[in-house]
Structure 1
Amino acid sequence: MRWKRDSAAWEDEFRTFVAHSRPSLLRAATLLSAGNSHRAEDLVQTVLLRMYLNWRRIRAGTREQYARKILTNAHIDDRRRSHTRHEEAYAEPPDVAVVQPAPTDPDAAVFRALAELPPRMRATVILRHVLDVSVADTADALGCSEGNVKSQTAHGLDRLRAALSESSPDETRGPAVPTPTEARRNHT
């Protein structure tokens, strides 16, 4: 009988965590997936499933950090699978090749620029500058050194800046990508 009470208590804690953290996880997953909302939902579900299965072992003070680490690893693992890079499922194949029109809104330009970054570099930039995670916590989430995080962040910001500056003027009115100097001032 005792395990049933304990089960209800931790499941209530988990539900509370999900209600509180899911929006920020979904936002981060959307950025990691370069705007692909379906892939972002899959990433968040992967995170929540893994956390649910290990909930009793996760310390209360580290749950957010644990979720970020799982999200980052799930993103990188998913990008390593060759089938996700080359095939997309459709209900019926189109009769004519469909050319997607280039979106003109700022979010689309940022998502396209993010999609050009390698998965680990994209994860580093998003953890550091969107989620405002420290260098040490980002290194822990990615399983690399702090110097690697700093290097990946600087290179990622340079590549984003270059990709966004090549976009048309209408597309670059969105969120500005800080220079490495501005980034250091804002996050050190």
Structure 2
Amino acid sequence: MADRKNFTDVARDRAPAWCRVSFLMCGDWALAEDIVQVTLLRLYKRWHRLDPDGIEAYARKVMARLAIDASRQPHRRSELLTAPPEHPQRDSAPEDGADVRAALGTLGPRQRAVVALRFYCDLSVAETAATLRISEGTVKSQSARALATLRTLLSLDSTTLNPTERLLP
């Protein structure tokens, strides 16, 4: 059982990374920050019951469910912001990341969550299935369809698409 003093450290250390994961799931930076805030609130409420080794998994599960739920709200569908937050650039060109984020925006909410968890968070099929409460077969089919869509939209062949390379700026 973790004590509440550690909560501040975990929140400070992990919130930026969780915002990036949440952004990949929902495509809207403001909504991603809201999702992380709700996630932190739920973590704080259950902090005394959580296993310290399960905090990251619990946070990913909450973020994925909140992102999928948010996509079902009609007022959110009309105004998606695609401008990413300001972060240091990586080795790839900035327009590459914008292309990938735009392509991710065409995916459905579940496919986005599967892609973000599988390839950005580097979860296994079983861990992704448990996080999203879907079967392993659904994870496999959703990720295969999502990657096929991304390959088509990005005009890449299957050997050059590595989903973890260019997701964030």
- Secondary structure of residue in 2 paired with 1:10: coil
1:18 to 11, 21, 28: 11
Q: For the Cα contact (< 8 Å) 1:121–1:152, is it kept in 2?
A: yes
For residues 59-74 of structure 1, the aligned pairs below 5 Å read: 59-74=51-66
**Deviation of residue 78 (structure 1)?**
0.5
Give the alignment's Cα RMSD to 1 decimal.
1.9
Aligned to 1:28: 21
Q: Deviations over 1:13-68 (max 9, x none)?
A: 1112112211220110121122x221211111111111111111211121100000
Q: Which has the higher contact order (CA 8 A, sep 6+)?
A: 2
1:135 to 125, 128, 133: 125
Mapped pair 1:147 → 2:140: no
**Deviation of residue 11 (structure 1)?**
2.5
- Return the structure number with greater helix share: 1
After TM superposition, the runs of 4+ consecutive aligned structure 1 residues lying more than 4 A away are: none
Q: Distance in 1 between matches of 2:19 and 2:161?
A: 21
Mapped pair 1:41 → 2:25: no
Aligned to 1:99: none
Over alpha carbons, which structure has the higher Rg? 1
Aligned to 2:106: 116
Q: Deviations over 1:105-152 (max 9, x none)?
A: 122111110010000011001111111011111001110111111111
Mapped pair 1:57 → 2:45: no
- Secondary structure of residue in 2 paired with 1:148: helix
Q: For the Cα contact (< 8 Å) 2:126–2:136, is it kept in 1?
A: yes
Aligned to 1:177: 161
Aligned to 2:84: none
Q: Distance in 2 between matches of 1:50 and 1:27?
A: 19
| TM-score of the two chains, using structure 1 as the length reference | 0.72
- Secondary structure of residue in 1 paired with 2:4: helix
2:69 to 77, 87, 90: 77
Q: How many residues align?
A: 146
Q: For the Cα contact (< 8 Å) 2:107–2:146, is it kept in 1?
A: yes
Aligned to 1:6: none
- Secondary structure of residue in 2 paired with 1:74: helix
Mapped pair 1:159 → 2:149: yes
